[in-house]
Structure 1
Amino acid sequence: MDVNTMIDVLKTSLSQALGLFYTLAGEIVRNASGEPEVHCNNKGVEFIEAESDVDLRDLNFYNPDENVGGKLMPKKRHGVLVVQATALRCGGLVLACMFDHRVLDGYSINLFTSSWVNMALSKPLFLVPNVLRSNLNVRHPRVYTPSVANMYVPLPIYESLQNVPKNDQYQHSLTNRIYYMEGDQIKRLQSLASENGTQISKIEAVTSFLWKITGSLLEDSGHFGYKCNVVVPVNGRRWLEGVEKQKLMAARSGNVFSMPFRGMQAKVTTC
């Protein structure tokens, strides 16, 4: 199958997948209250076709900003989803998608891409998505844990924090990075972090490693008393009450995730 044929198959199967994931074919607009909402106007998805004079083996995944983020990943100008298909010199094809995470979480993105692949291969769908809001109705009576109160601050306090001088790079800097790790490296981290017969997950091992070296950087640079926070998105579908509710939510397309976090304070270590 040549590249042009592959692109035609992708376009046809994408239109079929959008029939089920119809929110991806809309756009986000502001309602009367100024809140963003998905307007399902069937506007469609932008599909970009590109060509590259490099082979797949020449792509440097150790520096993804150089090619993946800067050239292979499309720029989303409007809508919820934009797709770019880049034909490589070796005959391969790189398919990249940019989603609006206000509409879809990582679980829903995997659900969409898996369905798109099955349609392209003329295979049955593993799950038929649903976007029913009734599955996320609050409990009656509403129940909150005390920890919820610690996650929010009154608006006047938040606004006062915006006026704090930003002279300290460690206190106010924000850095975005993408890490590429080999499978054997992750397995080694997982093995080193597991003890007493209990094996932790790969995400726990990698997150703990990054958390530790970031906290060590604060200590080595003399910034004692500063706190290093780690935040991990967690799929909330598994934690809803009741087995039947969890089964319904397994096909939920939307945003059902939380952001639990912990902090570790840098301190002087004495031997």
Structure 2
Amino acid sequence: MVKEEQGGEVAMAAAAAVTTTVAPALPTQEHRLPLSNLDLLLPPLDVSVFLCYRHPAPSAAALKEALAKALVPFYPLAGEVVANGDGEPELLCSGRGVDFTESVAGEEMRGLRIGMVDERVEKLVPAKKAASVMAVQVTKFKCGGAVVGCTFDHRVCDAYSFNMFLVAWAAAARDGHGGGTAPPPPTIPSFRRSIVAPRDPPPPRSPSTDALIDRLFAPLGSAPPPPDDAAAAAVNRIYRVAAADVASLQDSAGPGRTKLEAFTAHLWQLNARAAAAAAAAAEHERPCCMGVVVDGRGRMFPDGAMRAYFGNVLTIPYGVMGSGELRAAALTDVAGDVHRWVAEAATGDHFRGLVDWVEARRPKPAAARAYLGGTGGGDAAACIVSSGMGFPVGEADFRTGAPAFASYHFPWPAGAGYVMPMPSARGDGDWVVYVHVSPELAAAMEEEPTVFRSLDNSYVFG
């Protein structure tokens, strides 16, 4: 079900773009779907993902046909975000559809310098309309390759949820080819908000749980706004990290530390180096705040009851340390600190308490303090790590093969840096790492002798 409308221009080879609206293949009974208390912790931020396909790439027609089928079970993505009576966002599941833009680039895909995100990636992902939940753009290149870009509202879903949709969309293209409705998606999404509903009556207050939540989150009225100048100055890059360097980092971090904990500890120390360079003329040591996004699905329900839940189930624990102390510390000690504060928040009690905490303060919005530099806020150099290691790059096969490259893209307007490691499409254990960070931190990444390496075209396209 596709409605035609003329689009604007894509600033790539001055090529005209045409935008259509792809509605679910079956009608949707219009209704409102509340956002959960955990969704309400997210500000209005858009997240993008882009996938590069060599020739023969999936056609726009095939992508739209499969999208219409995938939107049947994932119907909230075809709706709109509206305000409820208290001014809070919620979903209007109207079956409006997803805006789908087709663009043509007058060049070879090999000419893209993907690692230098600020040069081209913004032109490969769609700018979503304010009220819509998702938008798609496919850009065809002279070589017959294509880039498929998607942008979605983070208040509606996290990366785990969008990955479910991406796998279902690709499966619809493979299994539903030739007309008719697609088979059920690999995972049928659940929008059952009761699974993350506040407890009634609320349980007796736990001082330790309450103290942790108050440390990690704050009502927006009591938290300082992010520094606009830092957000404006941030650079966007994609690096690669060799599998051997990932393993070496983990070994250096000490026994019992995960690859992500080791990576985070290393990045925290690089952030300290960058903070020291940026504040070389200052008379005081600049603190460094490092946060890690933790998914709570398996923590709230270890039996897998939330495996198909579609929405946000996230918390962001963090640590703050002076830049001098961080630079002087051994990686094992820094990784141990990361492990400690991640483990404190990675519990079912924390997530259930967080749901109750939001309920007690509604409709007043709240946000994670890690974005703001921790409880002290202000001068801290803040950075967030979000694992994208579950990104299903090998399953994003729209009947013409898996992508040659894929990455998230999140140039958010906050003062904190954002770093997301993902598996390389080569399937060899390498990581690709999307970063939105200060110029000083990007310089520190590039100046180190190992770990962060430039992403050149020969690595992406062979």
Report the TM-score when normalising by structure 1: 0.83
Residue 311 of structure 2: aligned partner:
254
Distance 2:193 2:204 in 1: 17
Residue 75 of structure 1: aligned partner:
127
> Structure 2 matches for 1:110-189, cutoff 5 A?
110-122=163-175, 125-139=185-199, 141=203, 144=206, 145=209, 146-153=211-218, 157-158=222-223, 161=224, 173-174=230-231, 176-184=234-242, 187-189=244-246
Shift of 1:151: 3.2
Moved more, 124-133 or 135-144: 135-144
Distance 2:251 2:194 in 1: 40
Shift of 1:154: 6.5
Higher-helix-fraction structure: 1
C-alpha spacing 1:197/1:233, structure 2 compared with 1 (3 Å): closer
Q: How many residues align?
A: 256
8 Å Cα contact 1:75-1:82 kept in structure 2: yes
SS in 1 for 2:305: helix
Residue 48 of structure 1: aligned partner:
101
C-alpha spacing 1:210/1:195, structure 2 compared with 1 (3 Å): closer
Q: Deviations over 1:215-235 (max 9, x none)?
A: 122234435432111122221
C-alpha spacing 1:62/1:154, structure 2 compared with 1 (3 Å): closer
Q: Deviations over 1:197-240 (max 9, x none)?
A: 73744433433332211112223443543211112222111111
Distance 2:253 2:324 in 1: 28
Shift of 1:157: 4.4
SS in 1 for 2:163: helix
C-alpha spacing 1:176/1:39, structure 2 compared with 1 (3 Å): farther
SS in 2 for 1:37: strand
Distance 2:205 2:168 in 1: 36
Residue 297 of structure 2: aligned partner:
237
Moved over 6 A (4+): none
SS in 1 for 2:115: coil
Shift of 1:143: 5.5
Distance 2:257 2:110 in 1: 33
Q: Which letter maps to 1:191?
A: S
Distance 1:114 1:241 in 2: 23
8 Å Cα contact 1:76-1:98 kept in structure 2: yes
SS in 2 for 1:182: strand
Measured on the aligned residues, the alpha-carbon RMSD in Å equals 2.9
Residue 109 of structure 1: aligned partner:
162
Distance 1:255 1:153 in 2: 18
Residue 288 of structure 2: aligned partner:
228
8 Å Cα contact 2:56-2:145 kept in structure 1: no
SS in 1 for 2:274: helix
Distance 1:143 1:249 in 2: 25
Residue 137 of structure 2: aligned partner:
84
Q: Deviations over 1:181-201 (max 9, x none)?
A: 2241x5414413424873744
Is the aligned partner of 1:39 residue 2:92?
Answer: yes
Moved more, 6-15 or 220-229: 220-229
Q: Which letter maps to 2:214?
A: A
Moved more, 57-66 or 208-217: 208-217
Runs of 5+ consecutive residues of structure 1 not aligned to the other structure: none
Higher-strand-fraction structure: 2
RCO higher in structure (CA 8 A, sep ≥6): 2
SS in 2 for 1:83: strand
Q: Which letter maps to 2:144?
A: G
C-alpha spacing 1:176/1:235, structure 2 compared with 1 (3 Å): farther
Residue 214 of structure 1: aligned partner:
271
SS in 1 for 2:155: coil
8 Å Cα contact 1:190-1:200 kept in structure 2: no
Residue 265 of structure 1: aligned partner:
322
Distance 1:73 1:155 in 2: 30
Residue 248 of structure 2: aligned partner:
191
Residue 427 of structure 2: aligned partner:
none
8 Å Cα contact 2:250-2:259 kept in structure 1: no
Q: Which letter maps to 2:287?
A: K
8 Å Cα contact 2:268-2:288 kept in structure 1: yes
Distance 2:212 2:275 in 1: 27
C-alpha spacing 1:267/1:197, structure 2 compared with 1 (3 Å): closer
Q: Which letter maps to 1:253?
A: F
Shift of 1:27: 0.5
Distance 1:6 1:191 in 2: 41
Shift of 1:28: 0.5
